[in-house]
Chain A
Amino acid sequence: MTTVARRDAFAGRPPPRLGGAGGRLWRAVGGIERRAAAWALRRQGRDGVAVTLQRRRIYILPTRYGLSLGLLVFAMLLGSLNYGASLGFALTFLLAGLALVAMHECHNGLLGLEVRFVGAHPVFAGQTAEFRIALAHAGRRPRYEIELERDGVSAGPVDVEPGEAATLRVAVRAPRRGWLVLPRVAVSTRHPGRLFRAWSWLHLDARCLVYPEPAPPGRPLPADAAAGGTGRPDAGDADFAGLRAAVPGDPPQRIAWKAYARNAALLLKQFSAGTSARVVLDWNALPDLPPEARIAQLARWCLDAESAGGAFGLRLPGTTIALGNGPRHLHECLKALALLPAPEDHRG
């Protein structure tokens, strides 16, 4: 790609930026759009997991290309009127008719489209969650150039063939632990010819679990109450046991780079140590830390304990998770930490 790009000196020219009056206008438009979206929410209510787009919730406006064409048609109309040019009228009205047809095509591109939230893998706070949203429809003709837009960034476009579903991933930053609800997303299309943009606002019932951001590694696992083993075995004398999603703070030498090259997901190699530790991670064992830091430290310990391969349990205010291990167990523990109610209530 880069070698090819160097051959064409035009490639890679930055897109023109809107400054001054244009920028102000654009921001004003943004404000109007926010208000319109709020109005639409009041009107159509929150959606479930899936939505089939109906006529009354699809909106359409011309794009700047559409507006330019409109201006052109108007100029041509004036010219035809002045010169009494019949064929001028014919071309003008043919273009007007085409624009009208394009408007309906654009609108119909969304009509009957089924948008479904299919899932989002849990992420750690500070990472970016990816909501997977499937598009399908019951029509016979393909739906072209469907995009999902949020805050001016778009996923797609993708063509949805009849009888097939296409999945788009909407990325949302996950700043805090807990449930991350998918914010308002617009499903839109500019087909045909980018003259119009038809869109529908979605308030899908879609959430993603956000684990707490683990504390930086360093603090050793508490002593094993039962067997007295230490938590952190050396990777060197352990057997490879599998992969798990990498989190910030994981040692880079244990990232599975080959796997990353294959599917662009950061995975951490896990090793099972010969020793099988048994440790209960207790909320009350960390009195020196403020509550959020405690949660972060507990999350780190859960990851460390899972890496170590031993059994571990979690004791939280109001919740206790019995000893266990494996990805599902780790998920249960991190989920409990993620969903722990606001820490002010549980101090001490």
Chain B
Amino acid sequence: MSAAAQPLPSAATPFAVRRLLWTAGIVLGASLPHWLELPFWIPVLLAVCLGWRLAVAMLGWRPPPRALRLAFALLAFVGVLLEYGTVNGVRAGSALLVVMVALKFLEANGQRDELVLMIISYFLVFASLLYDQTLFTVAYLFAFVWVTTVALLQLGRRAALLPSRSTFATAGRMLLRALPVMVVLFVLFPRLPGSLWGMPRLPESATTGLSDTMSPGDITRLGLSEEIAFRVEFRSRPPLPRELYWRGPVLDTFDGRTWSQGDPRRRNVARTLEHRGEPVSYRVMLEPEIVRFPLALDMPAEWSGQPGMRMGSDYRLRMFTPEAASRIEYEVTSYTDYRALEPLLEVDFDHYTYLPEGSNPRIRALAAEWLADDPTHAEIVERALAFFQSREFLYTLTPPPLGRHAADEFVFDTQRGFCEHYASAFAVMMRAAGVPARIVTGYQGGELNELGGYYIVRQSDAHAWTEVWLPERGWVRIDPTAAVAPARVRLGSSLPALSDAASPRLTLARMRWVRALAHAWDAANMHFNRWVLGFGPELQRELLRLLGFAEMRRAQRWQTLLALTVCATALLSLALAFMGREPRRPRHHDPARKLFTAFVRRLARLHVPPPAPTESPSDYALRASRAVPHLAAHIDAVVAAYLQARYEPDANGEALERLRARVRGFRPSPA
């Protein structure tokens, strides 16, 4: 065979260079999302490998000898091992993958290597999706797959490359037809609630507004992180901003400077709650950074959506399942008007009034003054709040550092601080006066996204307040910060006047349209997080219910979804098969065909039926020759000329001219 076993054109031909450039582009595009995560030397290695290989093809450089390539591979492997301490896991694995792709490109030669690189590139992009999933990622994903499909169309060819523009259109059409398949599989393919072989550990975040401990004197500058902590969608009428206390970790153990969580007692306090007034129902969408602290509005009454969620002995919701690295969502119904009537035992009473021996002596002295006329607990609280209001306390995010008796120094010397200082000082006062008190941390307030109809709570909304236990009334929330800076509680932390260290957002927030734009973007993100990233077993269960399936067990649900997946994919495949079919269309513009039709018409006058659609011209000639034997030679000549003009045309149209002459010369008369 003439074209048989023809080797691919040499890598130095323009054809091969174009193919290499395509491959290089795909490799670069696939590794791009990894660059920020990788140690600097890996992108450098990639650039060197790409550059060298291209220089070999385009400038005639010497290719790297085999020994050097091996050394590169070995060094890179050791480098990754040193960098990450392992070659397992998402990050080390991705780094290794980028290194491998770089080295593979260095020795890429021919179609096979190019196609292999393309396929690895898909995996590279996949790996980047495991630690970066935003709306931008989606845009990047589709753009990448589109370009890669173009590259696949081009690199899969043995003949010359196709024109780029039409290939982009072709690839786009293919992508559009693949989309329904993707959507159907995405929605129907059964998801797992857990993992198959273990998850990566949750990334330790330093920006979290919440923690298990609190030492107010140590922080001299509170960063206002604009990061979103969680979003809340109210099903019922949202409460007033001053009622938006999102309950987080409760700190009840004090060592004189630092508040921390005590041993959680196994006590069911949920039934000691008395709810009053209107219930507030809402859905919380928690960002991955704070999934350890599932927040709820004071005080939650019912919750659903997370199987392992319980109420702890401090009235806080907790997750008793191992934390997931992804967002979680749950529904809660709370009552902002409540009584937390936990009965305190003697031992509890001691715990909540404990102050270390000798700590904060000045506050103790002050408390002793208040106790002189034997006031009730409620009166002590009032006196303490009055004390804060009567002095020149200042709310600031950049307080001076405090020493050993942090509360004393804050109350009597510096008088500058933020919520933690006030809450801590107030709790110390209460304990000094024998009133059980503890610190509650969490978030206060929230920003309404009018476009999305939900509230955004940011890390900068983190707050700390106090709970005191009063006989008859149980745990009562007292927010001493509100006594000093009522606006902090009424309007939220984003009020610029409140902070002397205004962050960029706070300045920008004054510009209305920027705020509107930011809200639109956040709303898009919220829906994306909720419906795309958050799509999992729970939403699939909901979907099955909407489709009219009765509630079923997990295994059964799995089978149903799998069956639905198979059916839907089969249907789509069938649709694809018919969509791709081309409508048949007569070839009017083919002159040979036209001449032949004229010839057939002339023969038809001699009662020779025209050829059937399935009849080949040769068969037709045979039939016609039998019908009119005296014209057999003419018929053969015309059909031969037709076949040549049609299937083996020559450049100058001689065959067509011959056919034309023969058809014109064909003036048959009945025998």
Chain A interface residues toward B at CB < 8 A: 1, 4-5, 7-13, 15, 48-50, 52, 65, 68-69, 72, 75-76, 78-79, 81-98, 100-102, 104-105, 107-108, 111-112, 116, 118-119, 130, 132, 134, 136, 138-141, 144-145, 150, 153-159, 163, 165, 167-171, 190-195
Contacts and interface: CB of A to CB of B under 8 A. Distances in A.
A132 B60 CA distance: 40
Given A81-B191, A86-B533, A101-B576, A116 B125 contact: no
Given A88-B129, A141-B582, A155-B3, A191 B533 contact: no
Interface stretch (B246-254, B414-422, B643-651): B643-651
A189 to B, nearest CB: 10
Interface stretch (B115-123, B455-463, B480-488, B502-510): B115-123
A136 B156 contact: no
Interface stretch (B80-88, B96-104, B170-178): B170-178
Given A84-B324, A101-B178, A118-B643, A12 B3 contact: no
A142 to B, nearest CB: 9
Contacts of A78: 196
B185 A88 contact: no
Nearest to A92: B126
B180 interface: yes
B4 to A, nearest CB: 4
B646 to A, nearest CB: 6
B1 interface: yes
Contacts of B90: 83
9 closest residue pairs by CB, A with B: A97-B181, A97-B178, A134-B647, A11-B10, A139-B582, A193-B152, A93-B185, A193-B156, A8-B12
A170 B1 contact: yes
Contact of A192 (B4, B130, B153, B576): B153
Contacts of A157: 157-159
B580 A104 contact: yes
Contacts of B192: 81, 84
A108 B582 contact: yes
Interface stretch (B395-403, B584-592, B597-605): B584-592
Given A145-B158, A194-B156, 7 more contacts: A8-B16, A65-B119, A72-B122, A82-B199, A118-B647, A157-B157, A195-B156
Contact of A94 (B178, B195, B644): B178
25 contacts: A11-B10, A72-B119, A76-B123, A76-B126, A79-B126, A86-B532, A86-B536, A88-B130, A91-B125, A94-B175, A98-B149, A100-B573, A105-B580, A107-B577, A116-B616, A118-B643, A118-B644, A144-B162, A145-B158, A153-B5, A165-B648, A165-B649, A167-B648, A191-B157, A193-B156
B513 interface: no
Interface in B37-67: 56-57, 60, 62-63
A119 B640 CA distance: 10
Most chain B beta-carbon neighbours within 10 Å: one of A98, A116, A192: A98
Nearest to A68: B119
Given A87-B533, A89-B186, A10 B145 contact: no
Interface in B559-576: 569, 572-573, 576
Given A93-B189, A163-B587, A192 B152 contact: yes
Contacts of B197: 82
Q: Which size class do B's interface residues fall under? A: 35 or more
Contacts of A159: 159
A96 B62 CA distance: 40
Nearest to B580: A108
B222 interface: no
A95 B122 contact: yes
A153 B1 CA distance: 7
Contact of B196 (A65, A82, A88, A105): A82
B104 to A, nearest CB: 13
B10 A5 contact: yes
A319 B585 CA distance: 50
B182 interface: yes
Nearest to B574: A104
Nearest to A191: B156
Interface stretch (B133-141, B295-303, B492-500, B548-556): B133-141
B116 A68 contact: yes
Contacts of A9: 56, 62-63
A11 B90 CA distance: 36
Contacts of A7: 12, 60
A138 B584 contact: yes
A93 B186 contact: yes
Given A8-B12, A93-B182, A85 B133 contact: yes
Contact of A154 (B4, B195, B585): B4
B512 interface: no
B576 A49 contact: no
A90 B186 contact: yes
A104 B576 contact: yes
Contact of A165 (B141, B186, B646): B646
Given A8-B12, A48-B616, A72-B119, A97 B185 contact: yes
A66 to B, nearest CB: 10
A94 B579 CA distance: 18
A53 to B, nearest CB: 13
A84 B536 contact: yes
B535 interface: yes
A136 B647 contact: yes
B618 interface: yes
Most chain A beta-carbon neighbours within 10 Å: one of B125, B152, B532, B646: B152
Contact of B123 (A15, A75, A194): A75
A65 B115 contact: yes
Contacts of B533: 86-87
Contacts of A72: 119, 122-123
